[in-house]
Structure 1
Amino acid sequence: MAAPGAARPAPPLVDHHCHGVVRGELDAAAFEAYLTESDAPAAPGTSYFDTQLGFAVRRWCPPLLGLPPHCPPERYLARRRELGAAEVTRRLLRAAGITEFLVDTGLPGDLTGPRELAEAAGGTAREIVRLEHLAERIADTSRTTDSFLASLDGAVREAARTAAAFKSVAAYRHGLDLAPTPPAPAPLRAAADRWLTARATGDPGAARVADPVLLRHLLWAAVRTALPLQLHTGFGDPDLRLDRCDPLLLTDFVRAVRPTGCRLVLLHGYPYHRGAAYLAAVFPHVYADVGLALTHTGARAGAVLAEVLELAPFGKVLFSTDAHGLPELYVVGARLFLEALDTTSARWVRDGAWCAADAERVAALVAADNARRVYGRGGTVADGT
């Protein structure tokens, strides 16, 4: 423990859920689009810099580019253009303090893959395979329903050979109120046939897999590999219905998965993060994530983290940034997490609720050790496609 009044050295960070960053230059509108989960511009006369996340970017990132904290957005973006995207990405990723990245490669766009991200950051990376994206790729090349189902199951098994984990966005595609058990063969084949037929006719609504029977099949295909399964819960962009993303809706699925030993990681959670913490408290194979929520709550991140730590065992909470598109989001995610953890635990130490040694031990658990235990250790892998 550091001496009284001295800054504690930051623990190493394992970012167990993140995405690539944009390779090219961004104009002001494109940059701001990554500061919100909305799919619309800011209200007339305003900016998405005027949010908790926007203020956090202006607090933490300008000094890393040679500017004072809280400098005007226009000055910050001008400095960004002056340095160039590659240099900005290198500076910010290396300043974030993250040594290992687990990268969800299922998002579209010209984004860095795991290897490229790790090289820019000076760390290591592994891939998280998004189940729905995998199914859509298989559907693009399948001629029949039988070949689709066989190829899909084979692709999941093959991905499990190198991936760190699987991830599902069933919360976006249907909601978490899914039947908890694997679908029977007949309804599964019927659902696959309906989807492939709709895709073949050019139905734009069939571009993505959204049938609850197919989503259940994907979840259970991942469970059978014994790799960890990440599940989006809580808030996101307007593509989801927030009321159907409460992690407590997964309770029966959690119970059904328990005998398999598959570890379930509940991502994000907010504003249902206390429900995620409860599931992590009562089920041995469930873990809770604090990513995304801390980034978007900014100056209130400490309150959100404290609510997660009210009930979740300290060995069941994992750090992530859920950074996407902007290297700034890695910096903000890491700094807000470390500040929230330090100020919250310091308060509890002052109050006598925790001792200083335990505070340091919990910090190491949440920052990195829990993720290494859940996902194992691994080096950089080839970029996902």
Structure 2
Amino acid sequence: MASLNSLRHLVQTHPIIDNHAHNLLSRDVAADYDSYPLESITSEAHGRALENARATLPLLRATNQLAELYDTPCATWDDVVAAHSLWVENDYDGLIRRSLEGTQALLLDDLLSDEDVESYDWHDQFTGSATKRIVRIEAVAATIIGDLMSTERKEGETVWSKFRQRFLDVIDRAMDEPAVVGFKSVVCYRTGLDVDPYSGDEDLLTASLHRVLDSGTRRSGYRVEEKPLNDWLVQQTLKAISFKKRAGIVKPMQFHTGLGDNDISLVKANPAYLQPLIEQYENADIVLLHSAYPYTREAGYLACVYPNVYLDLGEVFPMVSREAQEKILRESLEITPTNRILWSTDGHYHPETFWLANKQFRQALEKVLVEYVQLGDYNVPQAKMAAADILFHNSNRLYKLNLEPNIVHDAAVSKVQPSLPSDPLDAFLLQNPDIEYVWMQWLDYTATTRVRMFPVEEFVRIARKERRVGISQAVCCMLHDDTVLPQGSTTGQFYMEPDLNSLYRNGGLPSTAAPSASVMTFWRSEDGTAFEGCPRSTLQNIADKIHSEHKMQLKFGFEIEVVFMKAAKGQRTGHVTEYNPATTNHSWSQMTSETRQLIPLLEEITRTLASIGIRLEQFHAESAPGQFEFVLPPAAPLTAVDSLLAARQVITAVAEQHGLRATLHPRAVPGGVGNAAHAHVSIDPPTHEDAFLAGILDHYPSITAFTLSSEASYERVRSGIWAGSEWVTWGFQNREAPMRKIGPGHWEFKSLDGLANMYLAMAALLAGGNIGLDAKLALTVKECTVDAATLSHSQRADLGITTMIPKTLEESLENLELHTSNTFKDLLGTELVKNYGTVKRAEIVRLREMSEEARRLWLLERY
């Protein structure tokens, strides 16, 4: 019973990504029942046929359920209408907020209507994430035709060529628009799903376009209902989707299938007609909307046998009876993989459409999954995974939303379900009962990971605050070899406090090692408050400040570049004298004979990371010999850095098991392309993105003291090696700009490598951005579309590019200590800035005492 309770709880509370819905009505028309009858929330009927809706089971069921939403008794549909009107008049926003409770993201086909509805981004205030758009291609075509007819009409080929080019331009722009995550076709309504997978000839299409032009007016509009033209719209959109997917841009195509109002051809609404199209455009992801009812099995078959097809379960909730909904869900599960099933409400106009659909779907999903568990078809973990995938994860992956589910914990469920304790330590130990040791870790100012190891019983005492572990404050002024600098003090200590949210199982260690786990720590003072100088606290504090004061969600995503190297040992001493790349027949994104020999290593790294909860987005060969890149998913700032360090630890350990050294050295191979640790930074909403970026650019020479934190780091600060070149600037998709803009509020920061303390590096970046937000700085540096180093002085001046990236660590430290604002230092902590500079200057002296070869070997062995 306890396990089933946990399943029921998950189904009823897991956040939802609604992958297909429409805009809500504006408040002033939300009670205009002549234009927008409330009965339409449970019926596809229109006009006189809608008068019969009150006698249907779906509407009667809705009448009873809506009493819960309105918080008032509803015995008749008239009561529902009255309650709706009252909510609209007194608290329309409150009604919407209630109706969208549990919905974390909306994907809106916002071209259903351009009148009386709110804009897509207006809906953001009611969900936990930015609303995204689904572009309806027939509406795009109709708009273009209307625009053409508002100007002087040309003859034959000219009209067609203008329409063709404008349509392709709109689709191309939408492919690059971050707010657009997909496309939709209602060809099912217009000419049926028997779409010809190949384009028609120009004469046929021209004639088809002219028939559309002749059938409408500028006042009535133009309905695109010509088979050659409708098929062409679908073909061209799928071609664009297929082409962009090769470049890593994934935007699926949704098709209305099955259930619809009376202007649909029910026979040709069968998704089986799409099979030739699905085969022709195998690189385009296709979503079959609305359960394809009554053709659910046909749709499920297509989603089963074609890897580019997904089945959406929307619209039938709340349009059909309870028994029909459960049957549709069971038919969907007959052969369709649960990682190919999506959920949507098809909510539109009235908030109640969202509330009823979500409520009824959760009811059906709970009943079906619980019964399958009771019958032994699923076990509880399998059923929970299926539910979470359908409600959230499948859409999150397909549409590349990169969201973290906002899980709501229910303490009552924890009491009856021992397998899901509320305490993260209990939960971890329950899932990993074999753990014998826990490594408590922190990252010092030299970016060295320091570790204390504890038997698990002792770690539990520490986590429960039954004992404390003190660390000498001397580490704030300590070099790699444990030398305490004169400026440091051997008196005093801070205490390590484990952050249980960062607890993970160690992976990649020798098979003889006992099972162990690692956890990152905060530094605490004697009285338990934050200790100034703690890198993790510094990052968390600045991130929290931006979130609370500017209402922005922050996310980081990291790219790990490493070079796999083989050690060469001296014959007499047996000591390592050199490291050489593991591959030399090697190039960017290529599979060579030597690269293929490393596939088992790469795959083992990927599997090991997945086993501890880190799922790579991709991995591939980079340009330098032996160099590979592993791309981590985005996450909140502290979580993202924790995952980065955990992933590096796994990569290093697995490589050692294969007899290789995985190094982060910025130029591990002399003459080869450097090793970076590029970071993706995003703010949501991107409303004040220019001010955020301006603050970073203003403080760039100080930020590099933390991000390019070794003299070796500056070997990458040069033009022509895709490392961000030499000038402080930015550019949209410009890989030779240190700040590459990718989309609204999303940049790739390139002046960063693996020798940095990543908590401090990202804290410095956010500190600059926060100053820009607070001061509402204007972005005076204009977009640069080329490598700024190739421009003349006057050309750079015209773009506002005036500052060079420092060429040495000393130069960066001087900017940090002498030329940056006090506000920047205060955000990071004045004591931290002082101690960090002390450590880094001493490190410069220590490394300069070595020969070039000795220095290179020293860094390769430590990073």
TM-score, normalised by the number of residues in structure 2 = 0.41
Q: Aligned AA for 2:315?
A: L
Deviation at 1:171, TM superposition (A): 0.6
1:21 aligns with 2:19: no
| Larger relative contact order (CA 8 Å, sep ≥ 6) | 1
Deviation at 1:25, TM superposition (A): 3.3
Distance in 2 between residues matched to 1:222 and 1:380, nearest whole Å = 28
**Structure 2: tracts of 5 or more residues without a match:** 154-158, 242-250, 403-683, 688-863
SS at match of 1:236: coil
Q: Which one has a bigger Cα radius of gyration?
A: 2
Deviation at 1:106, TM superposition (A): 1.8
Which of residues 119, 123, 128 in structure 2 aligns to 1:117?
Answer: 123
Provide the residue aligned with 1:170 in structure 2: 187
Provide the residue aligned with 1:191 in structure 2: 208
Provide the residue aligned with 2:369 in structure 1: 345
Provide the residue aligned with 1:308 in structure 2: 332
Provide the residue aligned with 1:155 in structure 2: 170
1:264 aligns with 2:286: yes
Distance in 2 between residues matched to 1:12 and 1:190, nearest whole Å = 49
Provide the residue aligned with 1:360 in structure 2: 384
1:145 aligns with 2:160: yes
Does the 8 A contact of 1:93 with 1:331 survive in 2?
A: no
Distance in 1 between residues matched to 2:204 and 2:22, nearest whole Å = 34
SS at match of 2:47: coil
Deviation at 1:288, TM superposition (A): 0.6
Deviation at 1:233, TM superposition (A): 0.7
Which of residues 221, 233, 236 in structure 1 aligns to 2:236?
Answer: 221
Does the 8 A contact of 1:93 with 1:330 survive in 2?
A: no
Distance in 2 between residues matched to 1:85 and 1:266, nearest whole Å = 37
Q: 1:161-199 CA distances to partner (integer Å, 9 max, x unpaired)?
A: 221111000011111122222223443334234433554
Distance in 1 between residues matched to 2:686 and 2:76, nearest whole Å = 39
Deviation at 1:286, TM superposition (A): 0.5
Deviation at 1:84, TM superposition (A): 1.9
Does the 8 A contact of 1:228 with 1:375 survive in 2?
A: yes
SS at match of 1:21: coil
Does the 8 A contact of 1:125 with 1:380 survive in 2?
A: no
Distance 1:380 1:359, change over 3 A: farther
Deviation at 1:381, TM superposition (A): 9.4
Please state which structure has a larger fraction of its residues in helix: 1
- Of the structure 1 ranges 219-228 and 85-94, higher mean CA displacement relative to structure 2 is found in 85-94
SS at match of 1:233: coil
TM-score, normalised by the number of residues in structure 1 = 0.89
Deviation at 1:121, TM superposition (A): 4.2
The number of aligned residues is 375
Distance in 2 between residues matched to 1:111 and 1:381, nearest whole Å = 23
Does the 8 A contact of 1:139 with 1:148 survive in 2?
A: yes
Distance 1:8 1:357, change over 3 A: same
SS at match of 2:224: coil
Provide the residue aligned with 1:11 in structure 2: 14
Distance in 1 between residues matched to 2:281 and 2:360, nearest whole Å = 33
SS at match of 2:131: strand
Provide the residue aligned with 2:254 in structure 1: 230
Does the 8 A contact of 1:94 with 1:121 survive in 2?
A: no
Does the 8 A contact of 1:104 with 1:127 survive in 2?
A: yes
Distance 1:203 1:377, change over 3 A: closer
Distance 1:4 1:293, change over 3 A: closer
Distance in 2 between residues matched to 1:356 and 1:27, nearest whole Å = 46
Provide the residue aligned with 1:130 in structure 2: 136
Q: Aligned AA for 2:20?
A: H
Distance 1:237 1:86, change over 3 A: farther
Distance 1:339 1:33, change over 3 A: closer
SS at match of 1:191: helix
Distance in 1 between residues matched to 2:41 and 2:685, nearest whole Å = 26
- Of the structure 1 ranges 270-279 and 116-125, higher mean CA displacement relative to structure 2 is found in 116-125
Does the 8 A contact of 2:42 with 2:318 survive in 1?
A: no
Distance 1:5 1:192, change over 3 A: closer
Which of residues 217, 222, 226 in structure 2 aligns to 1:211?
Answer: 226
Q: 1:186-214 CA distances to partner (integer Å, 9 max, x unpaired)?
A: 433342344335547x897x821111111
Does the 8 A contact of 2:17 with 2:344 survive in 1?
A: yes
Distance in 1 between residues matched to 2:686 and 2:362, nearest whole Å = 27
Which of residues 26, 33, 38 in structure 2 aligns to 1:31?
Answer: 38
Distance in 1 between residues matched to 2:61 and 2:309, nearest whole Å = 30
Q: Aligned AA for 2:286?
A: L
Deviation at 1:28, TM superposition (A): 5.4
Q: Aligned AA for 2:16?
A: L
Q: Aligned AA for 1:175?
A: G
Does the 8 A contact of 1:105 with 1:129 survive in 2?
A: yes
Distance in 2 between residues matched to 1:271 and 1:381, nearest whole Å = 42
Which of residues 84, 105, 110 in structure 1 aligns to 2:88?
Answer: 84
Distance in 2 between residues matched to 1:85 and 1:120, nearest whole Å = 18
Distance in 2 between residues matched to 1:191 and 1:4, nearest whole Å = 57
**Structure 1: tracts of 5 or more residues without a match:** none
Provide the residue aligned with 2:109 in structure 1: 104
Does the 8 A contact of 2:15 with 2:104 survive in 1?
A: yes
Distance 1:88 1:122, change over 3 A: farther
Provide the residue aligned with 2:347 in structure 1: 323
SS at match of 1:8: helix
1:57 aligns with 2:57: no
Provide the residue aligned with 2:315 in structure 1: 292
Distance in 2 between residues matched to 1:5 and 1:246, nearest whole Å = 38
Distance 1:84 1:199, change over 3 A: closer
Deviation at 1:3, TM superposition (A): 4.5
Distance 1:91 1:361, change over 3 A: same
Distance 1:329 1:56, change over 3 A: farther
Which of residues 266, 289, 300 in structure 2 aligns to 1:242?
Answer: 266
